[in-house]
Amino acid sequence: MKKALLVLEDGLIFEGESFGAEGEIFGEVVFNTSMVGYQEILTDPSYKGQIVVMTYPLIGNYGVNVEDVESAKPQVEGFVIRELSPVVSSYRGQKSLDDYLKENNIPGIQGIDTRKLTTHLRDHGVKRGVISSVDLDPKSLLKKVIASPEMTGRDLVKEVTVKKSYSFDETLDPEFKWPTLEQQARKPFNIVCVDSGIKRNILRKLNQHGFKVNVVPATMTAEEILSQKPDGVFLSNGPGDPAACTYLVETTRKLVGQVPMFGICLGHQILGLALGGKTFKLKFGHRGGNHPVMDLKTNKVEITAQNHGFCVDLESLKNKDVVLTHINLNDKTCEGMEHKKHPVFSVQYHPESSPGPHDSDYLFDRFYKMIAQHQGKI
């Protein structure tokens, strides 16, 4: 394989082998601690603008298939791994990871010490970086990295949001199977899903829990959303700095109190800003399928799937009729909140579990029951 370099903005250099597409790509270098699910990670729009490092050492062993994608194409800028599997050993694998990245023009680098890289990012914070197989001069690459855009202040939502509204209803598929008889018996609620970079499995989960979904662009106004007379509004995950999405914050502010709302990940952060709070950037973020979160209502601990680099500052929401509902047990940051007066709640993590554990699936049921209660049906 061809030689490649990974260079961070603080001057740390890794030499490895190129895989996927050849070329040169810049992004914020972050790490993900999931042991499986690299295809879902690659295609998660929340990774727009980022170079993802996998901490699990062997990647690519089960290949890639068309069923497990979370969007139409890979969204990461680049991919960093310890070792690329030379074989695809799963019966579901339709092509190799190497071929998949080549087809989608995503550069990767393998053969580097990902443990050293991860501990460096953990200790010093995430860094801008470059993967290059064309320019192999470290000094030249370092200058380019330093000149590349920062993640803070960047609105990446407009780059990944849907251009036109569309309906999503997996229950119309003849092969669809309801998870439970109780969910099958539910009267469906019509919700508007504001797409800031939504993953497909979130839409599937919403269908399974009794929702008919109309997906709309993140730039749609509150008036346009309310004109659809939705039973509820869902605010999706997405990439970049939530504070840069001023249009989405303003739309959300106008929707609060008008209709039941549920937000996850970026949607949670947008709600925090809309309710008068602030957000801040985490040192190295939360990314992986093994993050412990406590539900403060039940004191139960959920193992959660997460992918975010910004966080809601709960102190900034004091005296704003907002209460903390979930807390991260690793660093005690805000993982969930709800409004004291209006039917509005949100979580920072990913209850759709793709990839990841299923501990938080109940949140979709909670959204359904909240709408039913708001309409006086329970």
Show pLDDT as tens, one digit a residue, over the chain (378 residues).
799 999 999 999 999 999 999 999 999 999 999 999 999 999 999 999 999 999 999 999 999 999 999 999 999 999 999 999 999 999 999 999 999 999 999 999 999 999 999 999 999 999 999 999 999 999 999 999 999 999 899 999 999 999 999 999 998 888 888 888 888 888 999 999 999 999 999 999 999 999 999 999 999 999 999 999 999 999 999 999 999 999 999 999 999 999 999 999 999 999 999 999 999 999 999 999 999 999 999 999 999 999 999 999 989 998 889 999 999 999 999 999 999 999 999 999 999 988 888 899 999 999 999 999 999 876
What per-residue confidence (pLDDT) applies to 175? 82
Residue 36 resides in a domain: yes
Q: Could you tell me the two tokens for 118? A: 């991860």
**Cβ contact 17:4 at 8 Å:** yes
Same domain, 220 and 337: yes
Q: What is the DSSP letter of 372?
A: H
Same domain, 194 and 255: yes
**Cβ contact 16:6 at 8 Å:** yes
Burial class (CB in 10 A: 0-12, 13-18, 19+), 5: buried
Residue 152 resides in a domain: no
Residue 59 resides in a domain: yes
Tell me which of 193, 245, 265, 334 is the catalytic residue. 265
Same domain, 119 and 37: yes
Same domain, 167 and 296: yes
What per-residue confidence (pLDDT) applies to 177? 86
Same domain, 72 and 123: yes
How many C-beta atoms lie closer than 10 Å to residue 287's C-beta? Answer: 25
Structural domain for 43, as ranges: 3-147
Residue 241 resides in a domain: yes
What per-residue confidence (pLDDT) applies to 58? 97
What per-residue confidence (pLDDT) applies to 113? 98
- Domain count of the fold of the chain: 2
Same domain, 17 and 41: yes
Task: Tell me if residue 193 is catalytic.
Answer: no
What per-residue confidence (pLDDT) applies to 23? 97
Same domain, 309 and 173: yes
Q: Could you tell me the two tokens for 81? A: 């791994």
CATH number at residue 111: 3.50.30.20
Tell me which of 28, 335, 338, 352 is the catalytic residue. 352
What per-residue confidence (pLDDT) applies to 378? 65
Full DSSP string of 134-157: S---HHHHHHHHHHSPPSTT---H
Same domain, 177 and 57: no
Distance, CA of 131 to CA of 133 (rounded, Å): 7
Same domain, 134 and 166: no
Same domain, 137 and 217: no
Distance, CA of 252 to CA of 233 (rounded, Å): 10
Task: Tell me if residue 350 is catalytic.
Answer: yes
